[in-house]
A and B are shown apart, each in its own frame.
Chain A
Amino acid sequence: MFSQFNRWQKILIPVISVILGLLVGAIVMLVSGYNPIEGYAALLSGSLGEGFYIGETVRQITPYIFAGLAVAFAFRTGLFNIGVEGQLLVGWVASVWVGLAFDLPKIIHLPMAVLAGAAAGALWAFVPGLLKAKLRVHEVIVTIMMNYIALHLCNYLVRYVISDEQNTTERVPESASLKSPFFETLTEFSTMHYGIFLALAAAIIYFVVLEKTTTGFELRSVGFNQHASEYAGMNVNRNIILSMVISGAFAGLGGAMEGLGTFGYGFIHGAFSGVGFDGIAVALLGGNVASGVILAAALFGILKQGALIMPLESGVPTELVEIVIAIIIFFVASSYIIAYLLQRLKKGAK
């Protein structure tokens, strides 16, 4: 995304975007008659102020990291995966299904359930990858449509296959659960679970695969320039599919975190969870690098979690946080403007 900017700009642009977003948010609060300092104080204390809130925030960050990595991985390899939401949902249901269907010792059962989530997400992303590689169908269209298929398919599975015509499935047994009694006690019984470690591990894997392996070299090369990659003897179509599959696996893992950790069961979704779509924003803000995605996911987690408490403590409506997030995204997306201003400033200083 920011390849045309230099290193310090790459870091500075998202940071400035965030600051600008918060500032504009403050102005909006002022205009609507709220005290922005109180508002932001409430937001902070609601996300990081107490053990419980910290736990909830970390729990919220976990799927954001996965969704962000999923979008970023596809993006770095030249694809736009809008289907993270759907891949996340199938990952969720698949992990819960495996969690409920088997009775195994935890050391086998939990990894199996987690991997089932990854596999389901990968499979869901394989379809648009295949269509793109073989028929040049644009992945954006296919992934968007696959989101709806995923939503309704998962709802069907939850109601008729995994449960007995219920709105939710049963809880996954302890042997397939990511729940952490240790974290729960530590954070005054929040829903924080072990998933955050998997998320951080995933970020490391993301970095290693993309930057350090020959596969990542090929994927990035194909993402930047298919013609040169073909000239260099790389299999462009295989790499397109592989990229989507890995991206989908990250998304599916994010779903498994919800299914095996946060909730511990699957349920009928009336609408999309939104995590997958927020993943696009996380990846964009994080500059599509692993460390950036973690930081951006943390910011989103804090904002989202704090937004729940803000109306209670300061009267500022939750929607305002949505506005702040939207403004941040706006500034990141219009990074050219910020880069331009930075250059102006630099010139002026000289």
Chain B
Amino acid sequence: MDYVIEMLDIRKEFPGIVANDNITLQLKKGEIHALLGENGAGKSTLMNVLFGLYQPEKGEIKVRGEKVRITSPNVANDLGIGMVHQHFMLVDTFTVTENIVLGMEPKNGINIDLKRAEREVQEISDRYGLKVDPRAKIADISVGMQQRVEILKTLYRGAEILIFDEPTAVLTPQEIKELIQIFRTLIAEGKSIILITHKLKEIIEVCDRVTVIRKGVGIDTLDVEGTTPTQLASLMVGREVTFKTDKTDSNPKHNVLEVTNLNVKDSRGVNAVKDLNLTVRAGEIVGIAGVDGNGQSELIEAITGLRKVTSGKIELNGKNLSSYKTRKITEAGVGHIPQDRHKHGLVLDFPIGDNMVLQTYYHKPYSKYSMLNNKEINKQAKKLIQEFDVRTPSEHTPARALSGGNQQKAIIGREVDRDPDLLIAAQPTRGLDVGAIEFIHKRLIEQRDNGKAVLLVSFELEEIINVSDRIAVIYDGSIIEIVDPKTTTEQELGLLMAGSKNKAGETENV
């Protein structure tokens, strides 16, 4: 068999844990090979071993049949292995070309031969259909385009084997389609691809084979043809998983959140939310569907008091919140699972226990006469850790040390436990694996069933359709349509999200 890469019986230990326990991964030439596993299963560790960032304790790596020792990323580069990281490593103020040639600039005497570099970049870009402008500044191009610059970077360095770490996590549905097209071109040009992901649909759609790892152990490698998402999911999680979130019909009651003619400016002072109207009732989940950057973040920030309202009303149970500060809004009964859990959701250097009382520390019983009561705080933390299955060594562990899924469970536990009338969940399952997603969806529906109002913002259409009782489509700062998740399709939503309704001239705004 013609393997370009063989990782045989790789074992990697960290103090206290075995991250990779005798994992074998064999990549055929010209295939797209998926590496599937839950968060913390050891996917990244394995790829970092291949990329020379970690040295394995045991096992061997063969590239094109030859045994090699990859001691640093430079060695990996020389062997033709390139990695497109989940978090891009680009200099914002440099142009595309400057970023690509960084570290191996073509010289013209002592000057950088930018002309030649631009030509070369243009050539590669054309060859693989990447459509990148070599002279554009990184800061000015979209996230999808930046990702292509990363791909170009590896190609420019002569990569034959490309590793993609969760490449679709940051992309819009359209960009994902384009990326998949790029994958196909790369394969046609003789490259091989390893795709790290936990999105099952993508695997079924583009991959040839898949290697599943679970808790550091290699479970199986199988051909994608003939497998189903359910089968892959249970291999990954180690138990049966249901995708269809079970829920009864909603039973909405009075209006909890009423947003009327809301206008909000973004950080650059441009109107991001324009005359937006939205109602969320008790006992229902309203999902906001939209392409990133159409005012979702600003809307949520306005509701939660993190951003000033230019004009319009935000009413919670009839009380106008639009001029309130965040704390008063929180106390009025708004829970918020923020989009960026590291930036807003957690103080990463605080123990997870302290994070559990981030908005309530000044209340009894967590403090009395301004003195913290650590016993009560830890008691509360223990309770939530148990109730929400947060896997952590103890409540004293810094939040930073927890995996993404467990961090998110901690935040959700904290927000749900405050028993808010309105729960705002912004991309609550971003970057999480099937098991955690299932858990979080159940909790959101549970809130709804308890008669709370839930506002869900997500870029995952599947999530929106599955979980919501009503879908509000946001485009260019306004809600342009309300659709029923039972009757709509991803296609219809995709078109609405692209603003097609507006273009058609129908002014049936809700």
Contact = CB atoms under 8 A, between A and B. Distances in A.
Interface stretch (B87-95, B337-345, B473-481, B502-510): B337-345
Contacts of B284: none
12 contacts: A212-B371, A212-B372, A213-B372, A214-B372, A221-B347, A221-B358, A224-B349, A228-B344, A228-B345, A233-B328, A233-B359, A234-B327
Contacts of A166: none
A185 interface: no
A232 interface: yes
Contacts of A230: 306, 326, 344
Contacts of A228: 343-347, 358
Contact of B359 (A212, A215, A232, A235): A232
Interface in B317-349: 325-331, 336, 338, 343-349
A227 B348 contact: no
Contacts of B327: 233-234
Given A221-B347, A230-B306, A3 B358 contact: no
Interface in A221-252: 221, 224-225, 227-235
A217 B325 CA distance: 20
A232 B370 contact: no
Interface of B: 304-306, 325-331, 336, 338, 343-350, 354, 358-359, 361-362, 367, 370-372, 398
Given A220-B350, A221-B358, A231 B344 contact: yes
A211 B354 CA distance: 11
Contacts of A231: 304, 306, 326, 336, 338, 344-345
Given A231-B326, A233-B325, A225 B362 contact: no
Contacts of B359: 232-233
Q: What are the 5 A-B residue pairs with the smallest beta carbon separation, nearest first?
A: A233-B327, A231-B344, A232-B358, A233-B326, A224-B349
A215 B359 CA distance: 13
Central interface residue in A216, A229, A232, A235, by most chain B CB within 10 Å: A232
Given A228-B346, A231-B326, 19 more contacts: A211-B372, A213-B371, A214-B361, A215-B370, A217-B354, A217-B372, A221-B347, A221-B358, A224-B347, A224-B350, A225-B343, A225-B347, A228-B345, A230-B344, A231-B306, A231-B338, A233-B326, A233-B330, A233-B359
Interface in A322-339: none
A215 B358 CA distance: 13
A206 to B, nearest CB: 15
Interface of A: 3, 211-217, 220-221, 224-225, 227-235
Contact of A217 (B305, B306, B345, B361): B361
Given A212-B371, A215-B370, A233-B325, A227 B344 contact: yes
Contacts of B347: 221, 224-225, 228-229
Contact of A213 (B325, B348, B370): B370
A65 B6 CA distance: 59
Central interface residue in A227, A230, A231, A234, by most chain B CB within 10 Å: A231
A228 B329 CA distance: 15
A230 B306 CA distance: 7
Contacts of B372: 211-214, 216-217
Contacts of A3: 349, 398
Contacts of B329: 233
Contacts of A220: 350
Contacts of B330: 232-233
Contacts of B398: 3
A235 B362 CA distance: 13
Contacts of B326: 230-233
B350 A221 contact: yes
Nearest to A234: B327
Central interface residue in A211, A212, A214, A224, by most chain B CB within 10 Å: A214
A182 B370 CA distance: 38
A211 B327 CA distance: 22
A212 to B, nearest CB: 6
A214 B361 CA distance: 7
A342 B415 CA distance: 40
Contacts of A225: 343, 346-349
Contacts of A229: 347
Contacts of A234: 327
Contacts of B331: 233
A214 B373 CA distance: 9
Nearest to B336: A231
Contacts of A221: 347, 350, 358
Contacts of B304: 231
Contact of A214 (B325, B338, B345, B370): B370
Nearest to A211: B372
B183 to A, nearest CB: 35
Nearest to A213: B370
A225 B346 CA distance: 8
A170 B345 CA distance: 57
Nearest to A216: B372
A57 B372 CA distance: 37
A211 B361 CA distance: 13
A144 B169 CA distance: 45
B417 to A, nearest CB: 14
B395 to A, nearest CB: 15
A225 to B, nearest CB: 5
Nearest to B363: A214
